[in-house]
Structure 1
């Protein structure tokens, strides 16, 4: 998955009940070029700890 560049786009979009993401600090985003709307409509998500 080294060449994935836009997988983050809309990844959690519409996850209205999502309140936390366990292990997000382990995501390797070095090749990602767009995180457009990654958390759009994820209203319950208040804090993300990296």
Structure 2
């Protein structure tokens, strides 16, 4: 899968909703690396994502 297919949201991270699980994976692209910054399952508060980096 191409990580550039996912557009950044208001946090600047790229959310990827997982089809098989009720979760959202947040990542960023640094040069040629993909950096996972958060994985939130349903019911978790995603506001803490802004403090990650």
Question: Same-fold call, TM > 0.5?
Answer: no
Greater RCO between the two (CA within 8 Å, min separation 6)? 1
TM-score range, shorter chain: under 0.3
Using structure 1 for the length normalisation, give the TM-score: 0.23
Q: Which has the higher strand share?
A: 2
